[in-house]
Structure 1
Amino acid sequence: MKRNIGTIDRALRAVIGIALIAWAFLGSSEFAWTGWIGIVPLFTAAIGWCPPYSLLGINTCGTKNA
């Protein structure tokens, strides 16, 4: 798996993932359980690879010219 998520993208995914998981724990709404979907952006931020990005040919990771 080649990394396809850049630094800013990874940071945003991590923040959104943590916020969603926090909402699952602390939310009083009957739909708070849906916050567990935050595991997905948190996981993709941790590994630096996003499967839909690969399928669509998107790469937010900066490329270095050799």
Structure 2
Amino acid sequence: HILDGLKEQTINALITIQEHNKVRRLVNIILVKATPILLPLTGWGFILIGIYLFKREKEKTIKKKKMV
């Protein structure tokens, strides 16, 4: 997958001279565990926020029409 290459590239960029297990572990946690969970959740969150804002704006226009 794309995450494997991204993980190796990130580790190579962050680790320059000697091996840093903390950096490797942090990159693993972020890219391998968190990214597959957070990306779909973020996408669905944006969809729900969009629906909420659309309905709120629609209600505002209905109230304005009733006042006129």
Same-fold status (TM-score > 0.5): no
Structure with greater Cα Rg: 2
State TM-score, norm by structure 1: 0.32
| Larger RCO, structures 1/2 (Cα 8 Å, 6+ apart) | 1
| Structure with greater helix share of residues | 2
